[in-house]
Structure 1
Amino acid sequence: MRVTRTTLRPRSVRAKIVALLMLPIVSLMALWGFAAVTTASTIGDTERAKDVSAELLTPVAAFVTALQSERTAAMRQAAAPGAQHLDTLTAARDTTDKAATAVRDGANASSTDAGLLDAGLPARIDRLEADARGLSALREETNAKGAAQKVFTRYSTIIEHAFAVSGGLTGENDTVAASEARVVLELSRAREAVAQEQALLAAGSGAGTLTQEQYAQFVGAVATRRGLLEPAIADLKPAHRPAFDAVLDGGDYDTLAAVENRVRSAGPGTSAVSAGFLKGWDDSSSAVLKGLAEAEAGAGTGATAQADPFGWDTLGASGVAVVLGLVGVLLSLLVSVLVGRGLIVELLDLRNDALEVAGRRLPQAMRRLHAGQGVDIDAEAPMRRLVGDELAQVGTALTAVQRAALKAASERAELLSGISGMYVSIARRSQVLLHRQLDLLHELEQRPRDPAEVQELYRVDYLATRMRRHSESLLILSGIAPGRGWRDPIALSDVLRAAVAEIEQPGRVQTWAVPRVSVNGGSVADVIHLLAELVENAASFSPPSTKVHLRAARLRDGLLIEIEDSGFGMNEEATAEANRKIQSDRVDLLDARQIGLFVVNRLADRQGLRVELRPSPNGGVTAAVLIPENLTRDDMPVHEAASFGGR
């Protein structure tokens, strides 16, 4: 059986009220269930984090520390073989072997599925175990001559693999007791940078010189330590910062920084590892490494191991949410039952009144206003003064809204009527004066004058012609036909020249080959005016140095005229808005922006023309005008492939 949305949607007011009141109850129940599940999940996460810390994170951290010590001893032995260095190296290897065994045991005994924590974690653990098994081969290389640099690289690679395992495991180490695991991992990398410095200087002091490669690695390690250590400490929880601050404020750390600066300043060679430069280095660096390791344990794995899954930090907020959620559900049920019944009847009446106003009375009144008929607001929406609760006041407010809408529409209709009449009066007066001005200019142009004066007269003539067109635009917007007209068909070439002559800079318009076709006399005035508006718009919104191209072509369904400019163009939204104004059935006389588009709208509607703006290939805008076949006189064959609105 198929269940549709209509079947599930409540249809009656009573059903909607019940659904509305049940929504907060269901939401509270969902929140309550979420709080319970979250509490259980938090307990499980805390337990799992403790398991991960005990079985994997702690052994891996110990393995990294042991490898760092062995790397330093191995590089010292490789640089300067000796019995004392060999004893230290042997002890370090024993410690590393024990740590490697702990890592393998932790990986095998872990109850956490590594693949669930991180998809790449099993491969990282396998790689680290392979590194641990390969320590014997690596140690054989320590005795080879000049193997210090290779030993450094191999040990550092294993340590980086251990950090990769720690990074995959830190996703589970998110208990409230521990600082952000990624911050602790950055601190581990900062400690590794100090350990690298110690190993590099051990090799250099043993060999009596610091090679160029060792010096570069030392400088890089110093930069890494300084870039990671202090910013990471600032991101720790306040409870875990004092341990690190104690290391940074100690004399050993100052000695370490001083030696770093001396070695960096000395550059590679023998002076960098001389006894004077490295005074106090071994003790200070070892003390700093030990202090950082202890502080990391307290901030990360140590804090996680001490977290109590059933303590207040774990259960406090979730437990309160569970209790309050249950109380909220019960109270919501009680209030819903008491209030719901009283709302149903009042909402039914209010709904019926609102539907009557919105669906019948107000639309009918608006249609009469748009048709120019008067509306009695008091009869359409009698004002009711109801005293009661909020629902009764909403009913009164609906009536007030209806009255306000009718009043605004009535005032707007009166305003538009007045504006239209004002347009006609101003336009008629302007036309009389402009015709007289044009006649006078024509007389002056016929008299013998200096060419410069004649040119100025022509410019004034152009301006007067534009003013006459603007006056005619006012008549067109008011719905009245302008006074100019022709009885006989006029050649298209003459129509285009007349349209170009009505703009301020006709010289910027380049007219291409024009078909031998004529336009019916009754449509000539409107076509000239429409084309003049579009040509002037193209010239106004393109650089003065560019041309406006005017083309005409015969199509199967009429005559296509294109006005193309080289301006900055219009985006899709602006183009769509302009086309909407050109093609709309209604013209808003109160919209003062782009009045020329409204004039084009009226002219196109009156003559049955089609006008469309679209982007041009050169980045500007192309205005396309299609004159229907019935408005032209032509015996020429038409083109087959052209169509209006396409390119």
Structure 2
Amino acid sequence: MRMVHAARRLRPRSVRAKIVALLMLPVVSLMALWSFAAVTTASTIGDAERAKEVNSELLAPVADFVAAIQAERTAAAAGDAEILTRAQAATDNSAEALLDGVNATSSDAALLNSALPDRLDKLTADTHGLNALRRTKSATQTTYTAYTGIIEDAFAVTGALTGENSTTTASEARVVLELSRAREALAQEQALLAAGGAAGKLTAEQYALFVGAVTVQRGLLKPAVADLRPEHQKAYNTLLESDSYSRLAGIENRVLSAGPGRSAVADGLLKGWDGSANAVLTSLAKAETEAGTAAAAKANPFGWDTLGASGIAVVLGLVGVLLSLLVSVSVGRGLIVELLDLRNSALEVAGRRLPQAMRRLHAGHGVDIDAEAPMRRLAGDELAQVGTALTAVQRAALKAASERAELLSGISGVYVSLARRSQVLLHRQLDILDHLEQRPRDPAELHELYRVDYLATRMRRHSESLLILSGIAPGRGWREPIPLGDTLRAAVAEIEDANRVQIWAAPRVSLHGGSVADVIHLLAELVENAASFSPPSTKVQLRAARMRDGVVIEVEDGGFGMNEDALADANRKLRSEKVDLLDAKQIGLFVVNRLADRQGLRVELRNSPTGGVTAAVLIPENLLRDDMPVHDDEYGHELPTPVPAPSPAPGPAVIPRQRGE
């Protein structure tokens, strides 16, 4: 569940975020692949650079040092002082170059190979111990073993570096190392035969070492050559097919057949050995250098052999990433702009244009549908089609609203016509009743006439309600201000159960004549509503109080009240700017709404402390005139009158009829 909520929180909410996420996913994936290719290519370039440094600082000096030690070992075994001196000088020069390379790479040795620092230390100690080795008067075999140990230590350093010699132009480092060991085996053969020649015989130990060296040399040379790169095999194959190597192999075979003793080093047996051995060693060293250190040194880190297809992949990947970004940004921006325009258009239609058109239609003004919502052509783009569909919906809504407004206008015209006709008849009826009431009559008969007068007055109010809901002002009105008390009694006189209404003493103020008819009508609706929704045995209280902002009139019934939802709905209808004439159950509230809006009154329903409902009406100060100074308390209320005034006896309205009646 938590993962689901987390996924919902991470889900993009806006259209812009969704489009960006949709377009950026393939771009990010492509960038990740390109980054991988770029890192791999950079690693290849770095490996090539590091291989060049390793070759120049360690591998090449180690190879030269090994060749010099091999030559010095052979010279020491032969016992020729002049040749030995030259060999020692060459060894010292190569040892100095080797030490310089070791010092240059000492800080990075552990990064190249964890075993390399110890091996370098051992080889460095060997170079420092050369002078001590040269001064010893040990046996020839001991000297041979010491020199061979130094060479093995050098090969150990080369072996630790074989993983770094990984350029694409050089052969496999392990293969080159095997060829180096094959050359070392041949150098050992030369040293052993030189020692035997100097002594006049080949001892059994020397013979055994010679046999082992020949075996190693032949076991490593030809198989290793087969594993070289094709361009490096050529030099070795030329050497293996040369006369020097053939003579060398023939002498090796004769020595192996002669066995230990004097016959193995006889002058005729070793004829041409030194020349062939030196030629083969020189060729092996050159071929080895070309296959390993020289090839790595000549490698171009940024060349085709190093980069190859990965370089093309990086370049093409970069072009693809840039094109993807360009296309994604272009397409995404265009799509976002179109969607935002579509959203803004829809919001403008829903929030401003359509409501304004509806209000104009509701107010009875015509609306040009083609001007409000011009029809677009149906384009091939889906977003344009959505915009066209929205326009079609807007036109359909305006058409339906216009037809409904025309229907309501027609109904309103019928209401106005019927109401006008009813008013004419009711005015004539009230005039007749007024004349009849003025004649002397029996009290019972006069009482019946008063009842008919009440009914006619209520009928007149209902016809006025039709005019009010149709937006037409009723015909009756007064030119002079009317006291508030008379206004309250006139409102009560327009309901059927006038005896149930208890009118409390009203402030001594008057209403302007132009507002009297609407206030009477509004209060009559509220009082009649209170009498209708309360038990017949209860009283309806009608009170008025002076405030600083005007006069507050309260109509309180003794009913069962209203729940919160019903009360809120009723107050909403009292304050709403729109009147739904199809809601027949709330006609009275809508009439009060229109009257309050026309006169600037404020009407509110609330539950009363006694359990019923109280309707409060605020008449603003601009509709009032003080008949005498009013003494207010500190809160702006008129000092209340503790005893209610008696309700009027049944009879006609107390306000004289004026124009329109």
TM-score range, shorter chain: 0.3 to 0.5
Q: State the structure with more CA Rg.
A: 2
